[in-house]
Amino acid sequence: MAVKAYDLTGRTAFVTGAAGGIGRACAVLLAEAGALVHGADRDATGLHETAALIKDRGGIARTHLLDVTEHAQVRQAVESCGRLDVMAAVAGIMHSSPVLDTREEDLDRVLDVNFKGVLYACQEAARLMISNGTRGSIVTMASGAVDTGGPGLLCYGVAKAAVVQLTKTLATEVGRHGIRVNAVAPGWIRTPMTDRHDPGAQERTEALMSRMSPLGRVGEPDEIAHAVLHLASDASSFTTGQILRPNGGVAMPW
Ligand code: NAI
């Protein structure tokens, strides 16, 4: 039996949130695997840095400056690809507030970016794949927050739970077109998001993880990118509607 390859030569991938953190790691790794990568983000500077990283490594990158909450912008960018084999819907924001202090506008903003932004990317990718007859792979970004509550995680966790539902539902609807849809639910990963989250949170979480996680550490963006590459490639050809949990053995350390 031949080992199925992680080679994406000749394929086209679209990555949202490509300006930094996990999205940048995904864009760079998918390009290293041979894909032409379309990176999308609202951060122009970070986006161009990612494109430069890809080009430095001999890859091909296109950039789309957009806001994932604007459906028309997402549609235009995805349609401009002409063909799409992989969608990695990674863009997201962190929000933390206790349930009793949570305002409607907090919930709306987090749902807009972390759920609707993913929904629009999935809808437009699936439409393009179906119209071209492409047996593509769609990967969404959930979170360990879907497996455990946590202080302040109401808005973020609700949005990520919705991403899981979207992933499982869409997988049942597009499977007959040969399109697979899976989610990655990372544990705590060292990125600009977790650095920004609150002063000291990164250090506290690293200390917690060193005691409570089987692997005894937080994760790196590159480790999540490899989970995305697995789901994007033919190596996972019989996997759909699933949640892959690269989390060092623990969803969240509380
Ligand atoms: P990050 O903040 O480092 O990167 C997020 C990227 O998304 C940024 O480049 C940002 O500009 C972009 N973005 C945010 N809102 C946008 C919008 N409306 N339109 C276009 N682009 C937008 O965050 P990180 O940590 O890399 O997170 C990436 C994804 O992974 C998120 O969905 C996050 O919820 C998820 N995640 C992260 C974990 C972590 O520990 N870092 C754990 C579990 C999930």
Q: Which domain does 209 fall in, by range?
A: 2-244
The reported pLDDT for the residue numbered 197 is: 67
Residue 251: pLDDT over 90: no
Ligand 1 centre to CA of 79 (Å) is 23
In the annotation, is 120 catalytic? no
For 96, the 3-state DSSP assignment is coil
Please indicate whether residue 223, judged by its CB atom, sits closer than 6 Å to ligand 1.
no
Where does the pLDDT of residue 235 fall: very low under 50, low under 70, confident under 90, or very high at 90 and above? very high
* H helix runs in 175-217, sequence order: 192-197, 201-212
Query: How high is the mean pLDDT of the chain?
Result: 95
The reported pLDDT for the residue numbered 92 is: 98
Give the list of residues 6+ apart from residue 74 with CB closer than 8 angstroms, or none: 16, 40, 66, 68, 117, 120, 121, 124
> Cα separation of 33 and 46, whole Å?
21
pLDDT per residue over 38-68, tens digit each?
A: 999 999 999 999 999 999 999 999 999 999 9
Please indicate whether residue 194, judged by its CB atom, sits closer than 6 Å to ligand 1.
yes
Residue 207 lies in a domain: yes
Give the list of residues 6+ apart from residue 38 with CB closer than 8 angstroms, or none: 12, 13, 14, 15, 61, 62, 63, 64, 77, 81
Output the domain CATH number for residue 190.
Answer: 3.40.50.720
Catalytic annotation, pick one of 6, 115, 120, 156:
156
Q: Cβ(15)–Cβ(88) under 8 Å?
A: yes
> Cα separation of 152 and 26, whole Å?
28
Please indicate whether residue 92, judged by its CB atom, sits closer than 6 Å to ligand 1.
yes
Residue 251 lies in a domain: no
Higher pLDDT, 253 or 203: 203
Number of domains forming the structure of the chain: 1
Residue 254: pLDDT over 90: no
Spatial CA neighbour of 126 closest among 85, 163, 80, 91? 85
Where does the pLDDT of residue 1 fall: very low under 50, low under 70, confident under 90, or very high at 90 and above? low
Residue 252 lies in a domain: no
Work out the average pLDDT over 190-200: 80
Residue 250 lies in a domain: no
pTM of model > 0.85: yes
Residue 252: pLDDT over 90: no
